[in-house]
Amino acid sequence: MIVTNKKHKFVSESLSGELKKHAKKFQEENQEYLQASIKNNTYDEAYTKLVSDAVIQSYDVMNAWENISCDEIGGMTPLEYFASLNAISDIIDLITAFEVENSSIIPNGLAKHLKDNGDKFLDDLVSMLNAIELDEQKCIKYGQKAIIHAAEIIANEKLIDPLFKIISQMENQKTDANTLTTVMNAVQAIGEPAVERIISTIDSSDKKGQIYRFLLVSLARIGANNKSDYYYNILKKYFKESEYKFIEANALGVYGDRRALPAIRGYIEKYAHKISKWEYTQLRQVLLQFGGMVKDFDTYFSTVKDNE
């Protein structure tokens, strides 16, 4: 993907340079510890905190960068440059530039400008989403990803139909995880107004494959932010109706309700002779997440031949 707007290109490359300098400094200061952790496979709490701190610091670097004046953009700071963009097409082009240079990291100032002016940009964004056609592999390209990323930031319910028009083009055997994650993140950002459409799409599907899995997890994540028996009961319903229950068990884990523990344990106890070791590992993660016991199941699955 080639970025042709010189100012967009400068801004995205400038941020990329700052983040790379920060990453290099972090690696140099912590090289021995990081190498030892990787070699010994010891990703402990200290390692997690170190990496988490590095991510937080990278956002501090980005926020500082937003306030540095640059001759290449007319003496403006990046924050002022973002505020000068009055057309959604310009913003989409700049988001595309950031996706190319910075692995989809969008500066806070640009996201705020887009969010604050969401009503002004909404109709044009709806048209852009409606015009998206997935490629032969049923995946999105950079420019399309930027449009969907903008939809995630604005998160207006008028974007639901265009987003599900994109979902309707997906195929389980072709669409990649990047495409699914990008679109589902936008759906999740809209939240409860999208729930009815998620459920109707699930109910009209064969309830199999990665598209179903992503839809179910999206429902669970929205539910996790809006806890009620409604979400628990519908997720439990899908669990009960499913033949292979690890997708639904994972969604219950994402939702985070310990009431699901007896149902998952009961399923394993009843069908242990049919469950593959791979499926058990998926269910086991959910049991552990809920604080459930797994020792008895671990013993059983360590001694039996795999159920393929």
pLDDT of residue 27: 87
Residue 183 in domain: no
Distance between start and end Cα atoms, the chain:
43
**Is residue 93 domain-resident?**
yes
What does the pLDDT read at residue 254? 92
Return the pLDDT at 33: 84
- Position 104 in a domain: yes
Domain presence at residue 265: no
**Segments forming the whole domain that contains residue 93:** 1-116
Question: Is residue 245 in some structural domain?
Answer: no
- The b-or-e profile of 98-131 (16+ CB within 10 A means b, else e) is bbbbbeeebbebbbebbeebbeebbeebbebbee
The answer to the question of residue 43 being in a domain is: yes
The type of residue at 95 is I
Q: CA 37, 254, 237 angle in degrees (round to 5)?
A: 150
Place of tokens 């709490």: 45
DSSP assignment string, 86-119: -SHHHHHHHHHHHHHHHTT---HHHHHHHHHTHH
Residue 133 located in a structural domain: no
Q: What is this structure's pTM?
A: 0.88
How many domains is the chain built from?
1
Please report, in tens digits, the pLDDT of each residue of the chain (308 residues total): 566 799 999 999 999 999 999 989 988 988 888 888 888 877 778 888 888 888 899 999 999 999 999 999 999 999 999 999 999 999 999 999 999 887 778 999 999 999 999 999 999 999 999 999 999 999 999 999 999 999 999 999 999 999 999 999 999 999 999 999 999 999 999 999 999 999 999 999 999 999 999 999 999 999 999 999 999 999 999 999 998 888 998 899 999 998 989 988 988 998 888 888 888 888 898 899 888 889 999 999 888 777 65
Residue 20 lies in a domain: yes
Query: If 0-12 CB within 10 Å is exposed, 13-18 middle and 19+ buried, where does residue 70 land?
Result: middle
